[in-house]
């Protein structure tokens, strides 16, 4: 019964994704980060893509192809009328073979290709950050030749102090804005003790993509580890984050794409709640 209800709610949300005038104040281009359904994809890729569509999504962000060739995965997406916008690839590949990443992203039909984790031991430091900056600028140049945009998805550890600001500020200052965009994961801004709305205001159009998720009420912030229990992801509008304020700031900043990412074990129940919230939220 829960599954039936989820599909019905998702279907209603799908017809609302055009955000008709007067229906909702939030009118951003919305998709799903497929990592949200990673347990399902590991078992059955076609069925998981079908479920993604049934929830109401048309646009998606990829987190791998589950051992399928890019062309095969793209064909499966097309069979469900799903449009891939962005995808995540490992840092090590950007460092060693950016041209191959660009070719794979192109084969998948992506507009953006990004990185969501910078390998590091212990605390993330300036040396590691500067190495990542060099890799990102190199990757951005390689992808640009194929008509793609590189982006970095921050993960919380970048907010350690550096000079008068943070290592995140250093990354913003030293990456080429023509080649490198950023994807704000709002959870991983607030978890280390920062304010997502203020960071959206501070760097405006550098944030071309956003991951939407909410944080369990009562969870303490101020942690720079980049790790927390996935059960701390809750449906949008039910947690401790100021979703209206963040959405207002994101729209003002000119964010181009929003992806719901729900890593929790309750994703099937929470996705319809999140979609309903975005349809009804007043900004």
User: Tell me, what's the pLDDT at 1?
Assistant: 40
- Calculate mean pLDDT across residues 77-83: 98
- Give residues with Cβ within 8 angstroms of 42, minimum separation 6: 66
Q: Is 3.20.20.150 the CATH number for 2-14+44-280? A: yes
Cα 162 → chain centroid: 25
Residue 247 has pLDDT above 90, yes or no: yes
User: Tell me, what's the pLDDT at 25?
Assistant: 73
Residue 29 has pLDDT above 50, yes or no: yes
pLDDT by residue (tens digit) across 209-227? 999 999 999 999 999 999 9
Residue 4 has pLDDT above 80, yes or no: no
Residue 240 has pLDDT above 90, yes or no: yes
Please tell me the least confidently modeled range out of 3-12, 51-60, 168-177. Answer: 3-12
Residue 86 has pLDDT above 80, yes or no: yes
Q: Any idea where the domains of the chain sit in the sequence? A: 2-14+44-280
CA dihedral (50, 15, 237, 39) in degrees, to 10, reads 0
Considering the chain, what percentage of its residues have pLDDT values greater than 70? 92
pLDDT by residue (tens digit) across 46-78? 999 999 999 999 999 999 999 999 999 999 999
Retrieve residue 39's tokens: 């347990």
- Rounded to whole angstroms, how far apart are CA atoms 44 and 92? 27
Residue 11 has pLDDT above 90, yes or no: no
User: Tell me, what's the pLDDT at 88?
Assistant: 98
Residue 154 has pLDDT above 90, yes or no: yes
* DSSP assignments along 161-221, one per residue: EETTEEHHHHHHHHS-TTTEEEEEESHHHHTTT--HHHHHHHHGGGEEEEEE-EE-TT---
Helix (H) or strand (E) holding 2: helix 2-15
User: Tell me, what's the pLDDT at 26?
Assistant: 87
């Amino acid at each position: 019964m829960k599954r039936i209800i989820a599909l019905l709610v998702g279907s209603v949300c799908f017809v609302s994704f055009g955000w008709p005038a007067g229906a909702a104040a939030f009118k951003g281009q919305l998709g799903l980060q497929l990592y949200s359904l990673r347990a399902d994809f590991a078992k059955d890729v076609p069925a998981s893509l079908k479920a993604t569509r049934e929830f109401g999504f048309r646009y998606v962000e990829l987190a791998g192809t589950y051992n399928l060739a890019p062309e095969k995965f793209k064909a499966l997406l097309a069979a469900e009328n799903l449009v891939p916008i962005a995808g995540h690839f490992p840092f090590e590949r950007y460092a060693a073979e950016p041209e191959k990443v660009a070719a794979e992203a192109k084969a998948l039909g992506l507009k953006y290709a990004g990185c969501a984790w910078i390998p590091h031991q212990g605390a993330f430091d300036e040396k590691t950050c500067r190495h990542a900056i060099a890799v990102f600028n190199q990757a951005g140049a390689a992808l640009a030749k194929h008509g793609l945009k590189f982006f970095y998805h921050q993960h919380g550890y970048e907010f350690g102090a550096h000079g008068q600001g943070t290592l995140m500020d250093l990354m913003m200052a030293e990456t080429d804005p023509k080649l490198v965009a950023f994807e704000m994961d709002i959870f991983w801004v607030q978890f280390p003790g920062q304010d997502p709305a203020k960071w959206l205001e501070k760097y405006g159009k550098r944030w071309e993509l956003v991951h939407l998720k909410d944080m369990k009420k009562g969870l303490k912030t101020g942690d720079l580890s980049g790790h927390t229990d996935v059960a701390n992801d809750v449906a949008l509008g039910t947690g401790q984050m100021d979703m209206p304020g963040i959405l207002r700031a994101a729209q003002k900043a000119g964010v181009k794409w929003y992806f719901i990412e729900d890593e929790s074990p309750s994703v099937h129940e929470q996705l319809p709640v999140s979609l309903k919230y975005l349809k009804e939220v007043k900004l």
